[in-house]
Amino acid sequence: MGKPDPDRLDQIVARAQRERAERERGYRARALKLFPWVCARCTRTFERHNLHELTVHHIDHNHDHNPDDGSNWELLCLYCHDQEHQQGIQSSTKGSSRINSTEGCTPRARHTPFAQLGDLLQGKKSDD
């Protein structure tokens, strides 16, 4: 086996980092178009000036699983996103999976802004 070429390794790493950044920009932009700019955990509302503090969390923790309907994403503020991943790390060190557990989580938002969207699009009123 020959000696690894450091220039080639640098190129591979640089390409992987570029591809990751492009992929992240793609799903972030899509998620921000799909969902209201509200943290799904603490319900903090975001506007254009602080939108950089709203992140896209992959529910199944697989950053390559990005369905067009956004079903694997939730928008979380920096703090709730950090807490989500910190709890995942703590759980994995204890040997348990936390993906489907809500134990110890910040309560999820109860507001569902699109709950009556179908009725509104069909011209129905919510109190009918």
The H-assigned helical ranges of 38-104 are 78-93
Q: Is the pLDDT of residue 106 over 60?
A: no
- Reduced to 3 states (helix: H, G, I; strand: E, B; else coil), residue 63 is coil
Look-up of token digits 């690894």? 4
pLDDT, one tens digit per residue, over 17-66 is 888 777 767 888 899 999 999 999 999 999 999 999 999 999 998 888 98
* Helix (H), strand (E) at residue 48: none
pLDDT, one tens digit per residue, over 66-84 is 898 999 999 999 999 999 8
pLDDT, one tens digit per residue, over 2-26 is 677 888 889 999 998 888 777 767 8
Residue 121 forms beta bridges with which residues?
none
